[in-house]
Amino acid sequence: MNVAYILLLINVVSFTKCAKILGVFPSPGYSQFILAESLMLELVRRGHEVTVISAYKPKENIKNYRPILVDGLIKTTEENLFEQENVNLFNAISILEMFGQVITGYILAHEEVQQLIHSNETFDVVIVEQFLNEAHMGFATHFNAPLITWSSLGLSEWNSHLVGNVRPLSVNPFTQSQYTDKMTFFQRVHNTLVNSFYAIYKELVSYPAQQELLTKYFPGDIKLKDIMYNTSILLMNSHASTNHPTTLTTSVIEIGGFHISTKKLPSDIKKYLDDATDGAIFFSMGSNLKSADLPKDKLNGILKVFSKLKQRVLWKFEETDIPNKPENVFISKWLPQSDILAHPNIVAFITHGGLLSSTEAVHHGVPMIGIPIFGDQKMNVAKSVQKQIAVHLPFKELSEESLSAALQEVLKNPKYSRNAKEFSNVLKDQMAKPLDVAMFWIEYVIRHGGAPHLRNAAIELYWFQLYLLDVICFIVLCVVAFYYVAKLLLRRIFGKNTKALTSKTHKQKVN
């Protein structure tokens, strides 16, 4: 029995260590690629052979890692994204969905991607980043491989339906809103209306557009609605310390913070931080937003605030020189964000509120000043404010006075640092490392041929069936029908008796 067990174990291990894996990561933002690369490089380290379609490639050649670089994808975001801050929610939906269609088609039309599609290659599993790119799920169907979807966000209107995860709108805000899980009555009304508009927009506009891309770039007759719900598992970059606690189905796996690993800082940055006896502030607006695009009045106000600080400042800035830059400000086009946040002298983080940045700040216990612009940033900052680990500074209110006040609040009120450290402990206190959890479930799907036993029956129901609206309507109709039938019978019964009684009384009066 022991020998048989050992042979079986060897079989399982050898099977999962020689898998061919295709990763499709359409996001043009470098921060999303950091997450994707962490996932795929770990698969390589565990003996798998990976092919990765994305806008970036590793800085060096890696054995068993084949990048398919989609040239020009990064340029799709080369605009001043600060202008998105004033876009209303309904327009933001259409803008983001159209952007999703653009990057989906751009990737599928790429020459090397088309060569891969029309090759005779095979894959054991396909991992697709879920980002308004439903047509990319066609890779799994085309290569006859199980599909794993991955989200750089938490559970949202973009991904929950793919795995049949019920998402009550009373406690789950729309991703592009600035609500938390504790909404007022009118916020819940607004949340319901926006989610309804989004669902209708997807059905009438987005899904037909994605179907056109699917038909145009994949051979065969692949139907979008047939492939959308084939997800074996959904890997999410979320955790209760950074996202709202919510109910998850068996096939939804949270791996928030899986990409974080502290590396040695470059010598110049390390010395700069080591010498910051009064502490240091880190300022970064992420990989998509560019500090160089800040309006001049806001830029000058920020510089004036920094010039009055006793703390040092590290600022991710896309230009090599800033006019009137204070001496206590260190600028660079790119900075190792997580490694900087890990330094003990960092006392505050000025951020756009992207989930990657928020997660790293929570992991390292650094309080934040959030200046959200678009996407999920406003909601992420609202969550951090709710946890009392951040101060929200709306971009339109950003000025010398407001930034100075926000910094003084975070630096002088000990609750922000204290709460940040507490949530850091929460994020780190897990049964297993999130990256190990991700690896287990990816290999689990391979071992079990797509793991169909994890599928939730909810994905087989229409929305009105899922929320029992058909049952409610049936019960209401039955009650109404019973009421009218009963009323009719009573009227007939008592109507005849009334007529007979009236006739008898009339005769007695006549006599």
The whole-angstrom separation of Cα 142 and Cα 241 is 38
Instruction: Summarize the confidence of residues 425-446 as an average pLDDT.
Output: 96
pLDDT (average), residues 41-45: 96
Report the C-alpha gap between 278 and 295 in whole angstroms.
30
Asked if residue 511 has pLDDT above 70, the reply is no
- pLDDT-derived band at 16, boundaries 50, 70, 90: low
SS3 content of the chain, % helix, strand, coil (to 5): 50, 10, 35
Token pair recorded at residue 61: 């050649």
The CATH code that applies to domain 19-258+433-464 is: 3.40.50.2000
- According to the model, what pLDDT value does residue 121 have? 95
Q: What are 232's two structure tokens?
A: 């074996």
Burial class (CB in 10 A: 0-12, 13-18, 19+), 201: middle
pTM: 0.87
What is the percentage of the chain residues whose pLDDT exceeds 90?
68
User: How large is the average pLDDT for residues 143-161?
Assistant: 92
The pLDDT of 189-196, averaged and rounded, is 94
For residue 332, give the 3-state DSSP assignment: strand
**What band does 424 get if pLDDT is binned at 50, 70 and 90?**
very high
For residue 8, what pLDDT band results from cuts at 50, 70 and 90? very low
Q: Give me the pLDDT at residue 508, please.
A: 55
**Residue tagged 């009218």 (tokens):** 484
Continuous H helices in 143-290 = 185-201, 207-217, 224-227, 267-274
Report how far residue 325's alpha carbon sits from residue 283's, in angstroms, rounded to the nearest whole number. 14
Residue 4 has pLDDT above 60, yes or no: no
**β-strands 231-236, 252-254: how paired?**
parallel
- Can you give the pLDDT at residue 102? 93
Distance between CA 234 and CA 151 in Å, rounded? 7
Cβ neighbours of 226 (radius 10 Å): 11
Strands 147-151 and 280-284: unpaired
Which comes out higher in pLDDT, residue 114 or 455? 114
Task: Reduce the secondary structure of 97-146 to three states and give it as a string.
Answer: HHHHHHHHHHHHHCHHHHHHHCCCCCCCEEEEECCCCHHHHHHHHHCCCC
Residue 77 is predicted with a pLDDT of 58
- Rounded-to-10 torsion of CA 273, 274, 280, 282: 30
Please write the tens of the pLDDT for every residue from 288-314.
Answer: 888 888 899 999 999 999 999 999 999
The CATH number, out of the four listed (3.40.50.2000, 3.40.1360.10, 3.40.50.720, 1.25.60.10), of the domain defined by the range 267-428: 3.40.50.2000
User: Residue 247's pLDDT band (boundaries 50, 70, 90)?
Assistant: confident
Between 216-220, 284-288, 301-305, the lowest mean confidence (pLDDT) is in 284-288
Instruction: Work out the percent of the chain whose per-residue pLDDT is above 70.
Output: 91
Of 253, 219, 52, which is closest to residue 142 (Cα–Cα)?
Answer: 219
Residue 380 is predicted with a pLDDT of 93
Mean pLDDT along residues 148-168: 90
pLDDT bin (cut points 50, 70, 90) of residue 388 is very high
* Average pLDDT over all residues of the chain: 89
| Strand, helix or coil for residue 192 | helix
Is the predicted pLDDT of residue 264 greater than 70, yes or no?
A: yes
